[in-house]
Chain A
Amino acid sequence: MQTLRTLSNFLFVASLAFLIAACSSLRLEEVDYGWPVETVLKVDQDNKVSDGRYAIAFTVSPIAQEEFNDPFALAGHQLRLLRNSDGFYFVTGTGFKNVYVFEPGPKELRLTNKIVVSQEGLKHPALNLRSPYVELIDDGNFRIQMTNDDIVEDSTRLAEGGK
């Protein structure tokens, strides 16, 4: 009898705790973070970029170090930035061999993926939002569609015969 009572009390408390926890985590689903168009940012001499429309600013030296082994390699150059529907930031630029995928956190962007897109380096890249994918195009017929994890479609270069 005592055991039964203890068990029922325990269940009651557990249910109550669960209920309280459930009430405190309001969730909005199917949020679309996607930017309709990429933003092209010029890197200043302090190695920083900032965008007025989307109100985002960060330093690019870690990216430059990762990509070019030189933290100042991007100073005075352009960086292309696009946010996909899931909220991940895709970053690339002229001369890049990779597309960097970042996840936003409190006062930080954490690298979640580094997608190899070119062996020679991109010439005139552009990022397009093609939900649910992000499309990377470059000179000629270069076209890649990506998620934040990987490439899902890679159109062949006709000149290279479908690699």
Chain B
Amino acid sequence: MKTNIKAIILTITLCVVWSQALAQQSDYAVKTNFRTEYDRIKKSIDESRSTAELEAMVEKINSLESQYSAKSPFLDKALYPETFSGMLSDLRFHHALVHERIFLIQDQVGRISELETKMAELATSLETLNEERTRLFAELKSTKQSLASLQNVVKRLSNNLLAKDRLIFALIDSIFLPYSADATQLSEVQKTAISGKLEKTNVVEHIYDIASDNVRFLGMTQLGGKDYSSLFDHYYQFATRWMGLRDKISAIGLIGDGKSGKGTANAEEGIAATQVDSALLEWQAKLHTAVWSALANEFSSQGVEVIPFDNAQSFSESIREYVQAAKVTGEDTKTFVKDVWIDRVDKEWRDVLIKDSMLGRTEYASLDKLVGELEGDRFDWMIVLYAVLVLGVGLMGWRIAVSRKPKPEQAPLATKPQS
């Protein structure tokens, strides 16, 4: 009994003391405790790495509000110029911003993971193509087999180079796809991420290799007119894509180009953008040289002597000179017109020559018309052929019409009268 009474008294005493302690809270302590808790929650929000962590922060903010709401009139004065409600509002807004950012990042993580897997696959495929390319170049160099075999090797090598081209730009697209199309709008964090991936996959070195391989390819092969058309298309597509990529990686600051003065870790060790530019220029020059050289061969192989040419302008002048001279001298131009121009140039080289970087459509049409003026007989024979055809059709029509005309009835034979 006495023990119970003592326990009760002690409990009451403690309650009173505790209530007194509550009543004796320092205002300064209230202010600093609120500020400390506020800063702690804000820091926790900034350090959150998942939406789940942020969800827990909501409860803490609500708890802070409920804990100090009774003191809000005092805190409004103590925290001046800030207010209790203003600070909580800022905290909730900050929480919402961070939540949105982390949610977006989490959402993109999965996508980025897929793209990185794809990138790894593309990189592996690239290495496979590189090995095949090396083997094909060696085969091309050493082969002494038939023309058909050589052509087969050339075709396979050409396909290899095209496939590698498509692959490397698919790899580049995978790297840039998650980010803004405008590289200048990227944040520093994003630029660092992209440049890391570009360096890791040696993108610029691969591009340089492609350009170098094509230069090498052109030096080792002699192709026909139709082959060069696709090679031109390939070159210009590649060059256009390189310029687009060059701008992007320059904006990221990955590659030192000497002009902007931006230096990077890759500038000294790896391939610089200027080296790729040089390789592309060499590729273009090689392509043009190969085309004009092969085209000149078409004339010389048929024994047609024209003024030597090595570019579009000199080619045009050469043809015009030849036609003009032929008209004056009246020489036989059958070989030039039929065997060279019609059967070879027009059939095999037209697609290349009409490109804007070559003669262009208008100039080619003009030259074709000029050459056509030498080909007077051809038009005569064609007219004869047309005339024969028309006559033949007319005769057939007449025969059909005649055969369909109903035959008149024959009168019955008259019988000899009997004597």
Contact = CB atoms under 8 A, between A and B. Distances in A.
Interface of A: 36-38, 40, 80, 126-129, 137, 140-143, 155, 158
A80 B25 CA distance: 15
Say whether chain B's binding surface is mostly helix, strand, loop, or mixed.
helix
A155 B27 contact: no
Nearest to B74: A36
B26 A128 contact: yes
Interface residues of B, number: 17
Contacts of B21: 140-141
B20 A141 contact: yes
Interface of B: 13, 16-17, 20-21, 23-29, 31, 74, 77-78, 80
Nearest to B19: A141
Interface of A is mostly: strand
A37 B77 contact: yes
Given A36-B77, A36-B78, A37-B77, A141 B27 contact: no
Contact of B78 (A37, A126, A142): A37
Given A137-B26, A141-B24, A158-B20, 15 more contacts: A36-B74, A36-B77, A37-B27, A37-B78, A38-B26, A40-B28, A126-B27, A127-B26, A128-B26, A128-B27, A129-B27, A137-B25, A141-B17, A142-B24, A143-B23
Nearest to A39: B28
28 contacts: A36-B77, A36-B78, A36-B80, A37-B28, A37-B78, A38-B26, A38-B28, A126-B26, A126-B27, A126-B29, A127-B26, A127-B28, A128-B26, A128-B28, A137-B24, A137-B26, A140-B17, A140-B21, A141-B20, A141-B21, A141-B24, A142-B24, A143-B20, A143-B24, A158-B13, A158-B16, A158-B17, A158-B20
A11 B29 CA distance: 61
B42 to A, nearest CB: 21
Contacts of A142: 24
Q: 5 smallest A-B Cβ distances: which pairs?
A: A126-B26, A36-B77, A37-B78, A137-B24, A141-B20
A80 B78 CA distance: 15
